[in-house]
Chain A
Amino acid sequence: QVQLQESGPGLVKPSETLSLTCTVSGGSISRYHWSWIRQSPGKGLEWIGNIYYSGSTKYNPALKSRVIISVDTSKNQCSLKVNSVSPADTAVYYCSRWFDYYYHMDVWGKGTTVTVSS
C-alpha cells in the first residue's frame, strides 16, 4: 500500500525558494504520476502541478513561472520548488498520487505546513 510523507522547512523567508520533498513508501515512484496541492490558511485547495512517470510536467498557469516539480527515482522522492515566495505562499502542502485514467488523485500525504515570513 503506497504511503506518502511530505517534509521540508516549516519557515521560509520572503523572496527565497520553498523546497519540499514527498517520500513514497510501499511502491516505486517511477510507476505512477504525482501531484502537489496546497491549502492556504482557512482557504480551499489549489492544484500546483503534476509530474508524470515520463518526467514531463504540467503546472497551474497561475504558478507556472515559479514552480518546478521533479522526481528522484533513486530516493523514491518527488520534490517541489517554489521560487520567489511571498506570504501568499503560506500553506499546507500536500503530495498525492495522480492517475491519468479518469484524472484524479487517490492516495494523499498528510501534508506539511510552510510559513513564509521574515
Chain B
Amino acid sequence: QTVVTQEPSFSVSPGGTVTLTCGLSSGSVSSSYYPSWYQQTPGQAPRTLIYNTNTRSSGVPGRFSGSILGNKAALTITGALADDGSDYYCVLYMGGGMVFGGGTKLTVL
C-alpha cells in the first residue's frame, strides 16, 4: 500500500520562508494526483489552503503557494507569521479516493 509522506515537524523563524513536502513511499507525486493542502490548528477543523497543486482557496493569503518540486508536492510559506504555526496536511487523489499524508507540525519561532 502506497503511503503519503510528510515531514513530521518543521521550524521556521518569523518572516522566514519554509517549504513543506508531500511524497510517496513508492513513486513520484505529479500534478495528476491533484495535490491539495490543509491547515489545522489544535481543536479546530481543517482549512483548505491549496488545491490542484497550486491554486489558492478563497481567502488564503498570497504567502502560501503550492508547487511540484522534483518528485514531491510542496507547500511554501513566504514571510511566515506566528499564526502560521499549525499542522499541515497534504492530500493526494489516488485510485478514485483521497489519501492524507501524516501531517507536518510547523513551529514558528
Contact = CB atoms under 8 A, between A and B. Distances in A.
B27 interface: no
Interface in A95-117: 99, 102-106, 108-111
B51 A47 contact: no
Interface string B30-58: 00001010101000111110011001011
A58 B45 CA distance: 22
Contacts, number: 64
Interface stretch (B11-19, B69-77, B78-86, B94-102): B94-102
Interface of B: 34, 36, 38, 40, 44-48, 51-52, 55, 57-58, 89, 91, 93, 96-103
Interface of A: 35, 37, 44-47, 49-50, 58-61, 94, 99, 102-106, 108-111
